[in-house]
């Protein structure tokens, strides 16, 4: 070995060390540029907690600009420097969620936390390189506080929900349900206040057994009743068109043992008699005919059609997801392979459970030529200077049916309000051109007695150029109640408010 | 004619010995520049934490410049032809490390300032006492003995102390220190000396097996023993970081000396076997590997906590950092930081948070410069022993920085060793200043030998050869 050999090896050793440091440099880029945002916004990051607790958060406003949540300086001597206020109280509680020092983040406070929280100003100029300052953004929702308040008033304290969608964008324009909760006390710095509110909101049920913290509008399901016939109708057009013009037998009650597994009669509401083709059955909401139609279309076709509307799927709403938001149709834990299950489920009972948000999307699908847009509550995000940071770009979630089917079903739903035998006849002024479907789901107790009804209506208007799709749900109404009677007036108010309002801001 | 030329060359080669040569002028300029950068960082950190320009800014700048000047004058007097980059880069690392410590914990910062002064005195003292690198070669076994003694020191009852599970520290009165920091230098010198002497035996096949000549493993025996001993001691002291560093140093220097890929393969094989064995035998090693692979989730609450806090710090820093003094995860002092060991092993993550990718890149670049200068010094060193020593010292400083950086950013399992010149720690700082002094000494010799060599050639060419 020569001296030159040693010099060469020393050079190679130098190259080796250089390569080591290059690897460090590459990984540093990975950590500090590529993955920086992920680490910097991780809720377990102490800097995130410190920023959360010591700095003001951005505001949340309605589409009109009404402040729904804001940070204000806390009185001297407080543990944390800022208090979070919710001026509208329970009206938007289930949407904004709350910012709790003790229980964490919920609702929009959680899903848009990375914008609301104080974060480093994005680099825009050379000067920003030298001065690091933090900013918060304002989250502007698609929800209108006027419509939200109209929904609250129309429900009149009864347990139930109103969901108002723009069918062409998926924007949620109102989503209110009773019972609701005031996010303010949960955001308090006083432990006792938070504790009491937490008990009241998350584990104290109201008379009908519902928790204020859980939104009936999108976090809980119920039998949708006959409103589900829109899905059954669509399934027939899309999957089994030979039955579109087939005449179903005329029944008052389907006698026991007519359908596989049937032990009791399946009767129409008020024991009326009906049958015939879809066009004859949808406006008067013929239960016996649709029950038999569902069994003819078949379980596989029905499930495929329901899935195409978003059943059995987590809805991609931009609020923190929970498994209770999934609407169900013929889930294995309910459905047993017998015709009677399918018959009842086809008319929105038994193995069919839906959130009002899901049923609003059913109406929206028909209104929007078969396409369901991704539902969303965020409209825009603006920085403190009012500059646009982000706008929600509408995206397609599902295609529920072809435009031809949508047009046909649209016509049938207009029949529900226009035909003299339609279940919603006379509820809406003809000028509004409303297409609707009512639903009355009977609630049984353990002994099989009917003790209450869930009264529903879904609608969109104007039918020839839909601007809005709405679902109204009233839970635990008297046995005598119907969708038309109970949900109808709420729907009429909502549609009138939407159509009479000037075009909503921001659209 | 010939005599005149001769005197001309002599005068030229001797001039740097008296006046300020250009290398020293460069060094002085760089040192002043570095002092200003460090002072600027000190002001920014003070504004970040207290929103005020530090009242002792003048004193601070005077002390930084004073310390730099002492080191510079020492070099100018004792090693005038040495590489001009090594000292300023060292000063930059030390200065920025101090600024970060001052921002993290005033008490530790005061101690570190004292240790810096001691380190610079040790630097000058090393240049004074080690006038020629060959002096070290002469005391090879004495140095080995001293190294072994230093390694064993923490195991002595009443003298050694356990900190954080590793028995690495020695406590004398109020002062604690890690003797292994000094031992690493002695081991480099011993390896260099031994390998240089036995190079031929280690690299040429001299043992006849049948009708073939193969490498005789016998000369490697003492060194393998020495190395095995070092590893065993570090194993007993529970110090994975230094064990790994010494191992890589050993294999690297063996390859440098012999150029036999066989030794490299042997080393890699042994390393793999050792790593697997350690993973199986030592619980804390297995834990480190688990933390490295899965720092999140359950582990985040346990061993992965430190790693995850480091990740957060780097994420918070992003491209440009939060600004000195603005890091939120760092806490009020060294012991109450969200990031465990932020003043020692984990100081790199503090830079990651407050100075961002720009800052960490600067530090990486500084270590690359230092390692590059070290390898250049090794190449131009006068003797083979000096070359080997310089290369070994450079491997130590480069890889020690690499191991701890790579551990913090999850390139490698985390090993608890200090980031040279930046982490808090007196023994580490003083030892690394001695290390740099040795590099400077070898550099000066090398430059001198080149100058003398060049003179000799010119002179031989000019002076007529006497007839034989």
Report pLDDT digits (tens) over A176-215: 999 999 999 999 988 889 899 999 998 888 888 899 999 9
Mean pLDDT of A122-131: 60
pLDDT band at B4 (very low <50, low <70, confident <90, very high): very low
To the nearest whole angstrom, how far is the Cα of B361 from the nearest Cα of chain A? 7
* Cα distances (Å, whole numbers) of residue A507 to A172, A183, A388, A492, B238: 12, 28, 15, 23, 66
- Which helix (H) or strand (E) segment holds residue A458: the answer is strand A450-461
> Three-state SS for B228?
helix
Q: What is the C-alpha separation between A437 and B22, in angstroms, rounded?
A: 93
Chain B residue with the nearest C-alpha to that of A35: B315
Residue of B nearest to A22 (CA): B364
pLDDT in tens, B86-118: 999 999 999 999 999 998 888 889 999 999 999
Q: Would you say how long chain A is, in residues?
A: 507
- DSSP character at residue A32: I
Q: Contact A36/B375, CB-based, under 8 Å?
A: no
Q: Would B11 be classed as within a structural domain?
A: no
Judged against a pLDDT cut of 80, whether residue B7 lies above it is answered with no
Greater confidence (A152 vs B16) lies with: A152
Give chain B positions within 8 Å (CB) of A133.
none
Distance of CA A470 to the CA centre of its chain: 12
Residues 22-81 of A with CB under 8 A from B: 23-25, 27-29, 31-33, 35-40, 42, 44-47, 50-51
End-to-end CA distance of chain B: 23
The two beta strands, A60-61 and A137-141, are parallel
- Residue B141 is predicted with a pLDDT of 87
Which of A9, A13, A45 lies at the smallest CB-CB distance from B316? A45
Q: Is residue B250 part of a domain?
A: yes
Whether the CB of B384 is below 8 Å from some CB of chain A: the reply is yes
Which of A282-296, B54-68, B173-187, B368-382 is least confident?
Answer: B173-187
Query: How far is residue B462's CA from residue B8's CA, in Å, rounded to a whole number?
Result: 12
A237 and A405 in contact (C-beta within 8 Å)? yes
d(CA A140, CA A202): 27
> What pLDDT sits at residue B461?
42
Q: Report residue A80 as tokens.
A: 């944390």
Q: Kindly report the CA angle at B444 between B438 and B449, in degrees rounded to 5?
A: 125
Task: Say whether residue A20 is in contact with chain B using an 8 A CB cutoff.
Answer: yes
Alpha-carbon distances, residue A122 vs A20, A291, B46, B319, B320 (angstroms): 32, 58, 25, 11, 11
Task: Work out the mean pLDDT of chain A and round it to a whole number.
Answer: 89
Instruction: Please give the backbone phi and psi of residue B136, each rounded to the nearest 5 degrees, phi first.
Output: -65, -40
- Label residue B456 by pLDDT band (50, 70, 90): very low
Summarised one tens digit per residue, pLDDT across range A424-469 is: 888 999 889 999 999 998 888 878 788 888 999 999 989 999 999 9
Name the residue facing A6 among B256, B315, B353 (closest C-beta): B256
Q: For residue B15, is it within any domain? A: no
Contact state of B312 with A28 under an 8 Å Cβ cutoff:
no
**Which of B255, B301, B316, B386 to probe by mutation at the A interface, max A CB count within 10 Å?**
B316
Mean pLDDT of A305-321: 93
Let me know if residue B467 belongs to a domain. Answer: no
- Judge whether residue B181 has pLDDT over 70: yes
Range among B4-18, B66-80, B243-257 rated most confident:
B66-80
B10, part of any domain: no
Residues 6+ apart with CB under 8 A from B410: A27, B292, B295, B307, B311
Residue among A121, A106, A103 at smallest CA distance from A69? A106
Q: Is B5 within the bounds of a domain?
A: no
Q: Do A132 and B259 touch (CB under 8 A)?
A: no
Mutation for testing the B interface, residue in A2, A3, A11, A20 having most B CBs under 10 Å: A20
A491 Cβ partners below 8 Å, 6+ apart?
A427, A436, A457, A459, A470, A472
CA distances from A21 to A24, A167, B273 (A): 5, 55, 25
* Model confidence band, residue B164 (pLDDT cutoffs 50, 70, 90): low
Q: Are B259 and A10 an interchain contact pair (Cβ–Cβ within 8 Å)? A: no
Domains in chain A with CATH codes: 225-377+394-500 (3.40.710.10)
Distance CA B408, CA B404 (A): 6
Rounded to the nearest angstrom, the minimum Cα separation between B326 and chain A is 9
Tokens 């980059």 belong to which residue?
A: B85
> Is B406 near chain A, with CB under 8 Å?
yes
Task: For residue B1, name the pLDDT band (cuts at 50, 70, 90).
Answer: very low
Q: What is the dihedral of CA B319, B320, B325, B330, to 10 degrees?
A: 0
pLDDT in tens, A63-87: 999 999 999 988 887 778 889 999 9
Would you state the pLDDT for residue B185? Answer: 94
Assigned token pair, B152: 């064993």
CA of B400 vs chain A CAs: smallest distance (Å) = 11
Per-residue pLDDT tens digits for B335-346: 777 788 888 888
Predicted local confidence at residue B336, as pLDDT? 73
User: For B211-241, how does the pLDDT look when each residue is reduced to its tens digit (9 = 90+)?
Assistant: 777 777 776 776 677 667 767 777 777 777 8
Rounded to a whole number of angstroms, the distance from the CA of A54 to the nearest CA of chain B is: 11
Number of domains in chain B: 1
Mean pLDDT for B451-456 is 48
Structure tokens at B295: 């720092």
The reported pLDDT for the residue numbered A262 is: 85
Q: Which pLDDT score is estimated for B286?
A: 80
User: At residue A506, does pLDDT exceed 50?
Assistant: no
pLDDT in tens, B290-312: 888 888 765 555 667 888 888 98
In this prediction, what percent of chain A has a pLDDT beyond 70?
95
Residue A75 three-state SS: coil
Separation in Å, CA of A52 to nearest CA in chain B:
12
Q: Alpha carbon of B308 to those of B238, B346, B358, B415: distances in Å?
A: 23, 12, 21, 15
Residue B12 lies in a domain: no
Would you place residue B464 in the very low, low, confident or very high pLDDT band (cuts 50, 70, 90)?
Answer: very low
C-alpha torsion angle, residues B338, B342, B346, B349 (rounded to 10): 70
Provide the pLDDT for residue B458. Answer: 41
Q: Which positions in chain B touch A122 (Cβ < 8 Å)?
A: none
CA–CA distance, B182 with A302 (Å, rounded to integer):
79
Q: What is the pTM of this model?
A: 0.61
Least confident of A177-181, A319-323, B452-456: B452-456
Residue A273, number of CB atoms within 10 A of its CB: 11
Q: Using one digit for the tens of pLDDT, what is the confidence trace for B151-162?
A: 888 888 777 777
Q: How many CB atoms lie within 10 A of CB B468?
A: 3
Q: Does A153 touch chain B (CB under 8 A)?
A: no
Q: Which domain holds residue B118?
A: 20-462
CB atoms within 10 A of CB B272: 10
Q: Does A257 touch chain B (CB under 8 A)?
A: no
Residue B454 pLDDT greater than 50, yes or no: no
ipTM for this model = 0.88
- At A393 the pLDDT is 92
Q: For A119, name the nearest residue in chain B, comparing CA atoms only.
A: B316
Does residue B97 lie within any of the structural domains? yes
Asked whether the beta carbons of residue A36 and residue B317 sit closer than 8 angstroms, the reply is yes
């Amino acid at each position: 070995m020569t001296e030159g050999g040693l010099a060469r090896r020393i050079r190679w050793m130098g190259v080796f060390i250089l390569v080591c440091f290059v690897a460090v440099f590459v990984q540093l880029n990975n950590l500090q540029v590529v993955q920086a945002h992920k680490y910097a916004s991780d809720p377990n990051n102490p800097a995130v907690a410190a920023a959360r607790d010591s700095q003001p958060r951005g505001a949340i406003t309605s589409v009109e600009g009404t402040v729904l949540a804001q940070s204000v300086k806390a009185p001297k001597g407080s543990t944390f420097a800022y208090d979070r206020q919710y001026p509208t109280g329970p009206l938007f509680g289930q949407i904004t969620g709350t910012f709790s020092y003790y229980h964490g983040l919920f609702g929009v406070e959680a899903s848009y936390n990375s914008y609301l929280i104080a974060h480093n100003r994005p680099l825009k100029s050379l000067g920003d390189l030298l001065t690091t300052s933090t900013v918060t953004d304002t989250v502007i929702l698609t929800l209108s506080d006027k419509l939200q308040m109209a929904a609250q008033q129309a429900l009149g304290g009864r347990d139930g929900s109103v969901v108002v969608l723009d069918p062409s964008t998926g924007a949620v324009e109102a989503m209110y349900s009773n019972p609701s909760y005031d996010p303010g006390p949960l955001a308090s710095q006083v432990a006792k206040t938070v504790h009491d509110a937490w008990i009241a909101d998350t584990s104290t049920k109201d008379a009908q057994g519902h928790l204020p913290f859980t939104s009936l509008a999108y976090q809980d399901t119920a039998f949708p009743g006959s409103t589900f016939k829109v899905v059954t109708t669509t399934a027939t057009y899309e999957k089994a068109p030979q039955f579109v013009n087939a005449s179903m037998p005329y029944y008052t009650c389907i006698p026991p043992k007519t359908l596989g597994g049937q032990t009791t009669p399946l009767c129409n509401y008020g024991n009326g008699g009906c049958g015939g083709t879809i066009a004859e059955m949808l406006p008067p909401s013929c239960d016996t005919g649709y029950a038999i139609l569902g069994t003819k279309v078949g379980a596989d076709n029905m499930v495929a059609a329901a899935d195409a509307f978003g059943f059995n799927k987590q809805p991609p709403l931009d609020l923190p997801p929970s498994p209770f938001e999934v609407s169900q149709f013929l889930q294995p834990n309910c459905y047993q392979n017998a015709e009677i299950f399918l018959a009842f489920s086809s008319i929105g009972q038994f193995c069919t459970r839906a959130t009002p948000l899901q049923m609003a999307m059913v109406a929206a699908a028909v209104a929007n030529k078969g396409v369901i847009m991704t539902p969303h509550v965020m409209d825009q995000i603006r920085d403190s200077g009012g500059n646009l940071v982000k706008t929600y770009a509408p995206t397609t979630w599902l295609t529920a049916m072809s435009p031809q089917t949508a047009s046909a079903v649209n016509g049938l739903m207009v029949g529900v309000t226009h035909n003299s035998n339609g279940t919603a006849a006379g509820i809406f002024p003809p000028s509004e051109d409303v297409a609707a479907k009512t639903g009355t789901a009977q609630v049984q107790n353990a002994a099989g007695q009917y003790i209450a009804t869930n009264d529903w209506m879904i609608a969109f208007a104007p039918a020839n150029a839909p601007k809005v799709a709405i679902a109204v749900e009233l839970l635990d109404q008297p046995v005598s109640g119907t969708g038309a009677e109970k949900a109808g007036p709420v729907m009429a108010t909502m549609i009138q408010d939407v159509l009479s309002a000037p075009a909503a801001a921001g659209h | 004619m010939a005599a005149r030329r001769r005197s001309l060359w002599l005068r030229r080669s001797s001039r740097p010995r008296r006046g300020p040569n250009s290398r020293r002028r460069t060094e002085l300029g760089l040192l002043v520049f570095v002092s200003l950068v460090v002072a600027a960082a000190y002001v920014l950190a003070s504004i970040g934490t207290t929103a005020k320009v530090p009242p002792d800014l003048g004193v601070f700048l005077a002390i930084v410049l004073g310390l730099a000047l002492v080191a510079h004058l020492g070099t100018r007097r004792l090693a005038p032809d040495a590489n001009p980059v090594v000292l300023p880069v060292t000063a930059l690392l030390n200065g920025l490390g101090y600024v970060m410590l001052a921002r993290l914990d005033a008490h530790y910062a005061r101690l570190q300032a004292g240790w810096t002064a001691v380190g610079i005195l040790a630097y000058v003292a090393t240049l004074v006492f080690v006038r020629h690198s060959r002096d070290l070669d002469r005391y090879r076994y004495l140095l080995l003995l001293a190294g072994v003694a230093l390694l064993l020191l923490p195991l002595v009852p009443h003298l050694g102390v356990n900190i954080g599970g590793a028995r690495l520290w020695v406590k004398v009165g109020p002062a604690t220190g890690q003797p292994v920091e000094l031992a690493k230098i002695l081991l480099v010198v011993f390896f260099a000396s031994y390998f240089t002497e036995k190079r031929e035996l280690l690299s040429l096949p001299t043992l006849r097996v049948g009708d073939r000549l193969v490498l005789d493993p016998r000369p490697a025996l003492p060194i393998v023993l020495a190395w095995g001993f070092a590893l065993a001691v570090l194993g007993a002291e529970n110090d994975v970081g230094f064990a790994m560093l010494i191992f890589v140093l050993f294999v690297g220097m063996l390859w440098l000396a012999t150029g036999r890929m066989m030794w490299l393969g042997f080393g890699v094989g042994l390393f793999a076997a050792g790593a697997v064995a350690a993973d199986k035998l030592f619980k804390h090693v297995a834990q480190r590997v688990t933390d490295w692979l899965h720092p999140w989730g359950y582990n985040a609450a346990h061993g992965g906590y430190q790693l995850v806090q480091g990740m957060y710090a780097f994420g918070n820093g992003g491209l440009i950092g939060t600004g000195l003094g603005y890091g939120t995860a760092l806490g009020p002092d060294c012991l109450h930081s969200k990031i465990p060991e932020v003043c020692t092993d984990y100081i790199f993550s503090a830079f990651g948070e407050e100075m961002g990718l720009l800052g960490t890149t600067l530090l990486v670049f500084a270590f690359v410069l230092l390692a590059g200068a070290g390898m250049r010094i090794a190449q131009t060193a006068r003797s083979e022993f000096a070359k080997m020593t310089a290369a070994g010292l450079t491997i130590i400083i480069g890889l020690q920085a690499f191991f701890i950086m790579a551990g913090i950013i999850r390139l490698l399992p985390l090993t608890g060793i200090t980031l040279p010149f930046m982490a808090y720690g007196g023994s580490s700082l003083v030892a690394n200043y001695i290390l740099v002094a040795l590099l400077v000494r070898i550099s000066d010799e090398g430059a001198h030998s080149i100058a003398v060599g060049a003179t000799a050639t010119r002179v031989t060419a000019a002076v007529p050869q006497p007839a034989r």
